[in-house]
Amino acid sequence: MAHAADKISIEDAQKELRELAVRIGEANAAYHTHDAPKISDAEYDALKRRHSELEAQFPELVSEDSPSQKVGAAPLPGFEKVRHQVPMLSLGNAFTEDDVRGFVQGVMKFLNLSESPEFVAEPKIDGLSLALRYENGELVYAATRGDGRTGENVTANARTINEIPKSLRGAPDILEVRGEVYMHQSDFLKLNDENKEKGAKVFANPRNAAAGALRQLDARITAERPLRFFAYSWGQVSEPLSGSQFGALERFQELGFVTNELTKLCQSVEDMLRVYDSITQKRVELGYDIDGVVYKVDPLALQDRLGFRSTTPRWAVAHKFPAETAWTRLEKIDIQVGRTGALSPVARLTPITVGGVVVSNATLHNKDYIEGRASDGSEIREGKDFREGDWVEVYRAGDVIPKLRDVDLSKRTSDAAPFEFPKACPICSSPALQEEGDSTIRCTGGFICDAQVIEKLKHFVARNAFDIEGLGAKQVEQFFNDGWVRTPVDVFKLGENYGAKAERPLERRDGWGPKSAENLFRAVEAKREIPFHRFLFALGIRHIGESAAKLLARNFVTWEALRETILSAQKRSGDAWETLLAVDGIGDRAAEALVESLEDPRSRAAIDELVGVLLVLPDEGIQNSGSPVAGKTVVFTGTLTKMTRAEAKAKAESLGAKVSGSVSAKTDYLVAGEAAGSKRTKAQSLNVTILSEDDWLSLIAT
Ligand code: IVH
């Protein structure tokens, strides 16, 4: 599957988006309000492009105050929102043949199959996905993907697309067809030529042009743009379309949709890779952009058993085309300090276009990477290091943060010195240290490091955390520099300390007025009530990302319960420590970070003070209250014969059960397969209900 190191994390993307938003905002103000541009048009376009790329990659990060939601100065009135009955997810990535083999093996392992199932291979269209809902054969609405749960109602625009049928004959009563809206390259070039002539917006690529056309508020403009549609998937259906993916595509064709003609049924991984090669060959002459090949398990019954991870299906993967590369100058290496103190080296490049996007920064990962070493000490790039002034090869793979691949030593000047990684934090001068087994060097400044504190605060108010409207990266920096907000609790004291009657009211501060100040205070008040998992994620504890926070919230239900367990686990052993580790998905490092977060008296006091001004809402604990195992803690042991351990776990979780790795007094059921050993004995001694595999299956069937 995708290499973790090849992907930009959601945290990094969020951080970069906020920085870009600030720079775009400043450029807009300079241009529109002060009529004095500070950066060139090309630089401005590069910022906007990078911003929209990141938002496209992480739609969940698109915030209401995002520059993409504004046209010039006036915000778009916006489209009506549509809630997707079945979420619109994205796909996991594969970059190499080995990744694809790994994917097929993973599917076989999950299902305990000895042979590969059939797969459908389809081109991955580089457009934007659209859901079309038909009721009794009539198109009732068309919605964009949005954040995957809620999209925008673009029905009037979709109706102008010829390849989208307005009514269907012989379709299920309810049918939601999903597919890709895209534009042919020739149409895109023509549109851009016309726009250039008119002085109107010029698009970077056909995908952006298609997105722009689909999101027109005036459907007459959409109608003038030659958009097309391929059907490849579906959401809610009142009766099955077919027993297979391939059959469903045939059904779409019969109903009048266009499906992609390069779609092939494959018997083996070798077949899949052959189709990939053949599609690669045809890519240049297709006339529209594709960025890879999607493989999907063909039998729908198997798709059903495989199910979904949090954001991607287990039954499909996108095999991406190789990265595009370009050579440019590495002008400078900067060090950024993140919220956990990580010192991240960033390459500042002479701007260069890579695959249609202007790139001026690239990640350098860490010290080892700069020096030409992998984290296990082995050589990368034949051990060649990167130095300021070097001539370097930039690439963009299936992800969005550009990276450096190679360096041309023949172009290195004799005065180029090896890069010296700082031994102290560039912001607070505290020593920068490397922990064993960690390739990251961290600032040890903690609370005294302004960079860490600011980044923590930004994280605290970010979209997936407290999500306070009107309080973005820029405002956080402003308030921090003013000394108004130093810790999270200060955010909740803004109204009290800087309200209209205060000595130094916010409304008199530059860039604020009575209305915006009042709105901010109101937005803060609205977030005093917060779901437990968001609160926990907002604390910015290392290794506690969104999914870990959700797992913990679901298992402990209240913050008080988790806090107590963490405090009792300070010895890193004993019952409380085991209770933390028993949460499936929480490992040693996460447990250690939780304990550390309350170990330091200052940090504990800050968290307690914060809780004091909030109402942290208990988690529902269980998701599927209709199921007999909802809220129960289950342990699987021994060899299961009817399903694999992974499938059993995924199924149990989808029914609202908590799956744990060890038996304790809190275990409700031990499902004992063949040759169950010590866990069975322990369960007996604790009087835990022991079920056979068949007992379990009949229990969940009720
Ligand atoms: S299937 C549950 N098939 O790629 C997954 N997606 O990276 C459903 N895309 O959001 C998606 N061509 O916009 C699928 N043949 C294809 C596709 C395709 C393009 C897009 C789609 C999706 C994105 C995921």
User: pLDDT digits over 151-166, tens only?
Assistant: 999 999 999 999 999 9
Residue 207 Cβ < 6 Å to ligand 1? no
pLDDT mean over 422-434: 95
Ligand 1 center–CA 226 separation, angstroms: 21
Tokens of 647: 């499938």
What residue's CA is closest to ligand 1, atom 23? 90
What integer pLDDT is reported at residue 657 of this predicted model? 86
Ligand 1 center–CA 212 separation, angstroms: 19
Ligand 1 pocket: which of 57, 90, 312, 321 to mutate (most atoms <8 Å of CB)? 90
Q: How far apart are alpha carbons 352 and 367 in whole angstroms?
A: 24
Residue 294 Cβ < 6 Å to ligand 1? yes
What residue's CA is closest to ligand 1, atom 17? 124
Residue 122 Cβ < 6 Å to ligand 1? yes
What integer pLDDT is reported at residue 574 of this predicted model? 86
Q: Give the ligand 1 atom nearest the CA of 312.
A: 2
pLDDT mean over 200-209: 82
Dihedral sign for Cα 90, 95, 97, 99, please.
negative
Residue 598 Cβ < 6 Å to ligand 1? no
Residue 105 has pLDDT above 70, yes or no: yes
Q: Give the ligand 1 atom nearest the CA of 122.
A: 15
Task: Pick the closest to residue 634 from 685, 668, 662 (CA basis).
Answer: 668
Phi and psi at residue 492, to the nearest 5°: -85, 0
Residue 187 Cβ < 6 Å to ligand 1? no
Residue 313 Cβ < 6 Å to ligand 1? yes
pLDDT mean over 676-688: 92
Q: Give the ligand 1 atom nearest the CA of 123.
A: 15
Range list of H helices, 470-545? 473-482, 488-491, 494-498, 514-526, 532-538
Ligand 1 pocket: which of 88, 89, 149, 180 to mutate (most atoms <8 Å of CB)? 180
215-224, 334-343, 524-533, 590-599: the lowest-pLDDT one: 215-224
Q: Give the ligand 1 atom nearest the CA of 260.
A: 15
Ligand 1 center–CA 91 separation, angstroms: 7
434-448, 451-465, 531-545, 613-627: the lowest-pLDDT one: 613-627
What residue's CA is closest to ligand 1, atom 2? 89
What integer pLDDT is reported at residue 222 of this predicted model? 86
Mean pLDDT of the chain: 89
Residue 660 Cβ < 6 Å to ligand 1? no
Ligand 1 center–CA 354 separation, angstroms: 23
Residue 566 Cβ < 6 Å to ligand 1? no
Q: Side chain identity at 54, as an amino acid letter?
A: L
Q: Give the ligand 1 atom nearest the CA of 129.
A: 13
Ligand 1 center–CA 65 separation, angstroms: 27
Residue 100 Cβ < 6 Å to ligand 1? no
Tokens of 552: 């913990």
Q: Give the ligand 1 atom nearest the CA of 263.
A: 15
Residue 233 Cβ < 6 Å to ligand 1? yes
Confidence bin at 79 (pLDDT 50/70/90): confident
- Residues marked active site are found at 124
What integer pLDDT is reported at residue 245 of this predicted model? 98
3 state DSSP class of 570: coil
Residue 124 Cβ < 6 Å to ligand 1? yes
pLDDT mean over 113-141: 96
User: pLDDT digits over 37-54, tens only?
Assistant: 567 666 776 787 788 788
Confidence bin at 449 (pLDDT 50/70/90): very high
Ligand 1 center–CA 190 separation, angstroms: 27
pLDDT mean over 260-281: 97
Kindly provide the b/e burial profile for residues 203-232, where b requires at least 16 CB atoms within 10 angstroms of the residue's own CB.
Answer: bbbbbbbbbbbbbbeeeeebbebbbbbbbb
Ligand 1 center–CA 344 separation, angstroms: 32
User: pLDDT digits over 347-370, tens only?
Assistant: 999 988 887 677 899 999 999 999
DSSP string computed for 98-110: HHHHHHHHHHHHH
pLDDT mean over 684-693: 94
Ligand 1 center–CA 291 separation, angstroms: 11
What integer pLDDT is reported at residue 37 of this predicted model? 56
Residue 333 has pLDDT above 70, yes or no: yes
Kindly provide the b/e burial profile for residues 427-466, where b requires at least 16 CB atoms within 10 angstroms of the residue's own CB.
Answer: bbebebeeeeeeebbbbebbeebbbbbbbbbbbbbbbbbb
Confidence bin at 397 (pLDDT 50/70/90): low
Most confident option among 66-70, 229-233, 584-588? 229-233
- With a pLDDT cut of 70, the percent of the chain lying above it is 93
Print the SS3 string covering 344-399.
EEEEEEEEEEECCEEEEEEECCCHHHHHCECCCCCECHHHCCCCCCCEEEEEECCC
Residue 129 Cβ < 6 Å to ligand 1? yes
Q: Which residue has the higher pLDDT, 414 or 400?
A: 414
What integer pLDDT is reported at residue 399 of this predicted model? 54
Ligand 1 center–CA 124 separation, angstroms: 6
What residue's CA is closest to ligand 1, atom 12? 124
Q: How far apart are alpha carbons 183 and 286 in whole angstroms?
A: 12
What strands lie across the sheet with 316-320, from one edge to the other?
93-94, 316-320, 290-297, 119-125, 264-266
Dihedral sign for Cα 525, 530, 534, 538, please.
positive
- With a pLDDT cut of 90, the percent of the chain lying above it is 65
What integer pLDDT is reported at residue 11 of this predicted model? 83
User: pLDDT digits over 286-297, tens only?
Assistant: 999 999 999 999
Ligand 1 center–CA 90 separation, angstroms: 6
User: pLDDT digits over 14-36, tens only?
Assistant: 888 888 888 887 776 665 444 45
Residue 180 Cβ < 6 Å to ligand 1? yes
What residue's CA is closest to ligand 1, atom 16? 124
pLDDT mean over 171-194: 94
What integer pLDDT is reported at residue 65 of this predicted model? 64
- Residue 678, number of CB atoms within 10 A of its CB: 9
